[in-house]
Amino acid sequence: MRAIKGMDITTKLKKWILNKKREELLRSTQLVNNIFKQNNLIYTCNWRRMAGLFKLLSLPSSLTKLSLFSLLSCFSSHHLHFTTKHFSIRQTVNKSQMSTGISLKGFTAVLLLFLLLVCSGLDVCEGRRGRHWKHRKGTVTSLVKKKGKGKAIGGSHNNHHAKPSPIPSPSPSPSPSHDSIYNVLDFGAKGDGETDDTKAFEATWAEACKVEASTVMVPSGYAFLIGPISFSGPYCQPNIVFQLDGMIVAPTNPKAWGAGLLWWIEFTKLKGITIQGSGIIEGRGSVWWTQSQIDDDPIAINDDDDLGTELGTKMPRSNRRTGMGWPESFHMQALRFYGSYNVTVTGIVIQNSPQCHLKFDNCNAVHVFNMSVASPGNSLNTDGIHLQNTKDVAIHHCNLSCGDDCVSVQTGCSTVKIHSVNCGPGHGISIGGLGRDNTKACVSNITVQDVSMYGTMTGVRIKTWQGGSGSVQSIRFTNIRVSEVQTPIVIDQFYCDRTSCKNQTSAVALSGISYENIKGTYTVKPVHLACSDDTPCSELSLTDIELQPMQEHYHMYDPYCWQAFGELYTPTVPPIICLQAGKPTSDRMFSDHEACESA
């Protein structure tokens, strides 16, 4: 047998076996010794490479497996000179043994057996599932896959099991690409609060309108002065986002408004329009409020324009200008949507509007949430949110402070849900006024629930003019909390915003109205149900009503009822003994209901 250069590999293997699993691999080591002796093999060892091999054997099992299988593959290739990344082996065979027909195949077979035994001792010969090695307790897997050049897309840290991937959730809507964002600053807007940026906004919209799911960006840190503007959409692509993070301010110069307009910012005939962000629409309305000559409860002003008028440009009753140049009785709605589908308003603040803060005309699928209206209680005619001829509406999680109705529901509205809203100051949440100037009004399927009101004129109210027709039905007020509210529950079918109104017989028919779980304090009267003689209110239901006077010994009015028919399902506080049981004898209401259903 020829001399062996370097340390005997058997000794090295034995040391390694003692550190790992000496008992399991002892027989395998002896077998290797015999193989080398019987085949008269001479091998040289590159110690740096051998050190690398044993270092490799201490690596995670997945890499060890790969190296061992590579070694096995090389031996089975029948090459006399064999080189791997970790060590070199040079094999020679005696001529005498060559003549006896000793074959490398026998050596390879035995070596294969040895390697399999080593694998079994290392727990590295494991079953496969799919394309991944099976994880076993106490082992660590570190597989790194590449996708493209140099991009690692997987892997785990040593000594930690990789956490299972969570169940994939639906992918969020993709963020708009840079190409679909149109910043008003790029179109010439200054944002200094003094320069008129109206044309810059118009130019920005003109470009964004051409691209589906585009975004008009109004950046934070700027105040943009703009005059009356209409973002029209008959030919616009759908799903445009108006990202309002800065401030938009109204002009205070009367000349900037012209004459005949009832809106300041308008979006018309759009499919999928979202106004969102953390910005503010500042109406600077105080100069308008001081010039107002209208009575304190101005629902008539909201209805003065022809119902459903497309452009909303009908002039108020008076267009005389005051000495300061402002028209009397002329008020501007801050933000108006007309003839649009799938409208969302969220995040923003609308404050100090000259008149109504947020109005929806002839819209479908409206969603308003997490936004605020902020104006003082003495700001006349400033409805918070005004709905007219609009269907499928959700208003929730809003803070509404204004000088008129926090939410006003007008004719043509159905399937409206208002919940989780704070209201006050203001006039409460109202349906109406309806039927002005002998018009027909139809309202149905309205729910108001989980609402808190503080310091408002009324809580939940329905108001109609004398002489109207049509119907209000399927109305539900539930879970209302009132604090220092003048009159929490109101039906007024003799509504009049002037000193006097003409007495008329006909009226809008009211039926199917429920009041549930309304509790809190009042300052004037707990309940006021004033219904029409010709068309009494029917199917009123009251459940869990508890209304206490704010001051026990202060003069308060008792509950008032007139031509109100319904049922008390629980005792009320105070007792509402004026409600009449049963149904009225008039058939007028049924014909009015049918007229609305057939319309």
Rounded CA-CA distance 528/173 in Å is 49
Instruction: Identify the sign of the CA torsion 446, 449, 455, 461.
Output: positive
From residue 255, give the alpha-carbon distance in Å to each of 199, 261, 263, 265, 353. Answer: 17, 13, 15, 17, 18
Q: Confirm whether 296 is a catalytic residue.
A: no
* DSSP strand pairing (440-454 vs 469-485): parallel
Give, in degrees to the nearest 5, the angle at Cα 504 between 503 and 505: 135
For residue 307, give the nearest of 318, 319, 299 by alpha carbon. Answer: 299
Which residue in 404, 492, 497, 592 is the catalytic one? 404
Residue 564 identity (one-letter amino acid): A
For residue 379, give the nearest of 255, 286, 314 by alpha carbon. Answer: 286
Q: Confirm whether 178 is a catalytic residue.
A: no
Omega of the bond leading into 283 within 30 degrees of 0 (cis): no
* φ, ψ of residue 93 in degrees (nearest 5): -130, 135
Rounded CA-CA distance 18/33 in Å is 16
Where is 104: in which H helix or E strand?
helix 104-122
For residue 299, give the nearest of 128, 204, 426 by alpha carbon. Answer: 426
Which residue in 331, 427, 528, 593 is the catalytic one? 427
From residue 95, give the alpha-carbon distance in Å to each of 77, 90, 99, 313, 372. Answer: 22, 16, 6, 113, 98
The DSSP bridge partners found for residue 567 are 541
For residue 353, give the nearest of 397, 292, 423 by alpha carbon. Answer: 292
Rounded CA-CA distance 526/338 in Å is 37
State the first-to-last Cα distance of the chain, in angstroms, to the nearest integer.
111
Residue 280 identity (one-letter amino acid): I
Rounded CA-CA distance 189/218 in Å is 10
Rounded CA-CA distance 279/346 in Å is 10
Helices (H), 312-375: none
Q: How many H helices and E strands in the chain?
A: 10, 34
**DSSP class of residue 24?**
H
Rounded CA-CA distance 429/408 in Å is 6
**DSSP class of residue 249?**
E
Rounded CA-CA distance 396/383 in Å is 16
Rounded CA-CA distance 561/538 in Å is 12
Active site residues: 404, 427
